[in-house]
Amino acid sequence: RKEVEQDPGPFNVPEGATVAFNCTYSNSASQSFFWYRQDCRKEPKLLMSVYSSGNEDGRFTAQLNRASQYISLLIRDSKLSDSATYLCVVLPANDYKLSFGAGTTVTVRA
């Protein structure tokens, strides 16, 4: 079983729509969680950290469910520029090496 699993998508949505997707992780002792964004043929960049209480950053909302071991990302009012692959990233307890999911691809169309 992979440490971090994501629905690869693609999620094709019109501009202005809301899109949401989840990621599951296998290590119940994981301590920190992140969403990274990766544009085609570019490097991953940190989008946001995910906190236990859930957190928002503009149009992006991240949620963590430790009991069910999943995190989610919701994008409201989608923009064309949101088209990218979103990588779910987990930091195991007592470690500094990150575990990456394979990514969920989102395509926002005009």
Partner 1 sequence: DAMVIQNPRYQVTQFGKPVTLSCSQTLNHNVMYWYQQKSSQAPKLLFHYYDKDFNNEADTPDNFQSRRPNTSFCFLDIRSPGLGDAAMYLCATSSPGSGGHDQETQYFGPGTRLLVL
Q: Least distance to partner 1 from the beta carbon of 81, Å?
A: 19
Binders in 35-94 for partner 1, by CB under 8 A: 41-46, 49, 87, 91
The residue to which tokens 């501009």 are assigned: 15
Residue 92 and residue 28 in contact, taking contact as beta carbons nearer than 8 Å: no
**69 close to 25: Cβ distance less than 8 angstroms:** yes
Closer of 19 and 90 to partner 1 (Cβ): 90
Write down the least CB distance from residue 108 to partner 1, Å. Answer: 19
Least distance between partner 1 and beta carbon 44 (Å) = 5
Residues forming contacts to partner 1 in the complex (CB under 8 A) are: 4, 8, 32, 34, 41-46, 49, 87, 91, 96-98, 100-103
